[in-house]
Amino acid sequence: MKIALAYNLKPTSVPAWDDTYAEWDDLETIEAVRDALAADHEVVLVEADARVESRIVQAAPDLIFNMAEGWHGAWREAQLPALLEHLKIPFTGSSARTLALGLDKAATKRVLRQHGLPTPDGVVMHQPDQACDLSSFPLMVKPLYEGSSKGIWGESVVSNPVDLRRQVRRVLERYEQPALVETFLPGREFTVALLGNGVHVEVLPVVEIRFSALHREAVPIYSYEAKWLWDTPARPLDIFHCPAEIDAALAEQLAALCRRAFRALECRDWCRIDVRLDACGAPAILEMNPLPGILPHADSHSCFPQAAAQAGMTYTDLIRRVVALACERYESSG
């Protein structure tokens, strides 16, 4: 089978503190996915830039392995899938609709709540002085349409109205989009990787994000600093623990919750879901990641490959599994 690998390549000239291209993939990841696909298939690389349509038409692939994050706008992750749906070219992962919903944190919350799934209370703020209906501090302030911890720094957790207004203004000015303000949950944080479709969705071993690995003054969140500045292959933090040390009841609760969320957002093939416990130890969904990151290096602390490894899968096995799930899905749909 001929597979086109669609991607956005992260520029090497951007300093680490600049989060503009945080969602894009580096060359090591693109080459690792290419090599995994090439074990069984003919592979062509397709950069998802302004010429992506002509490149895909020229390549004439049987399937697109989609890891393209898109260029601009609130629906950027959905742009390539929408094009592929228009061209009737099969691709891995979720539909344009699901990817658009997943990147819009407020829309995700609405869908989750419609299905009776817990998520922190939140308010979308378009102005720094807008009234915030959330009852008490601390609160979390984040950009509405970003992923990969873009716009989430230690100072994003605020404890008073002055800091709230300052952080909302920062999001509005830096990211040119509304801010989502959420009730801050003080409990443990987990991320759950899922593979499958329909009623057949496998939950991989749960990853816990251990904030004790951060320095003592750090705010206990998986911020941009924690993900991209403090935790590096050269100096890795012992921040992930997989499988998480949790009892059977919580493990089952997390699995059931994430399976329901997977179906509610109509995810396909794979998704990673971030969950945090409230003050009473009850889990709530923070974010859905239907286009999950898959850094290949063992010290890169990429959650999905780590969970897959604990389930007995190599990196190549994981990529093969996603391709197989997509093929089965298209075959079953006729």
Token pair recorded at residue 48: 């998802």
Q: What are the two backbone dihedrals, phi and then psi, of residue 228, each rounded to the nearest 5 degrees?
A: -115, -20
Other beta carbons less than 10 A from residue 68's beta carbon: 27
User: Residue 301: what pLDDT?
Assistant: 65
Is-contact 294 304, C-beta < 8 A?
A: yes
| Rounded average pLDDT over 280-286 | 97
Average pLDDT over residues 274-279: 97
Q: Tell me what pLDDT residue 298 has.
A: 58
What's the confidence (pLDDT) of residue 222? 86
3-state secondary structure of 180: strand
Q: What is the mean pLDDT of the chain?
A: 93
Nearest to 294 by CA among 77, 46, 29: 29
Q: Which pLDDT does position 299 carry in this prediction?
A: 57
Q: Is residue 51's pLDDT more than 60? A: yes
Residue 41: which pLDDT band, with cuts at 50, 70 and 90?
A: very high
Angle at 186 between CA 180 and CA 190, to 5 degrees: 85
Q: What are all long-range contacts of 142-145, with beta carbons under 8 Å and residues at least 24 apart? A: 142/105, 142/171, 142/179, 142/180, 142/182, 143/171, 143/175, 143/177, 143/179, 143/180, 144/74, 144/104, 144/105, 144/106, 144/177, 144/178, 144/179, 144/180, 145/74, 145/103, 145/104, 145/105, 145/175, 145/177
Token pair 């090599």: residue: 35
Supply the pTM of this predicted model: 0.94
Q: What is the Cα–Cα distance from 4 to 260, expressed in whole angstroms?
A: 31
What distances in angstroms separate CA 199 from CA 110, 152, 182, 256, 263, one per listed residue? 22, 34, 31, 12, 8
Distance, CA of 304 to CA of 51 (rounded, Å): 30
Question: Cβ atoms within 10 A of the Cβ of 49, count?
Answer: 11
pLDDT at 334 over 70: no
Three-state DSSP at 238 gives: coil
217-236 pLDDT, tens digit each: 789 898 888 777 776 667 77
pLDDT tens by residue, 116-157 = 999 999 999 999 999 998 879 999 999 999 988 888 999 999
Give tens-digit pLDDT for 311-333: 999 999 999 999 999 999 999 87
For residue 15, report the phi and psi dihedrals to the nearest 5 degrees. Answer: -65, 155
- Letter for the amino acid at 59? A
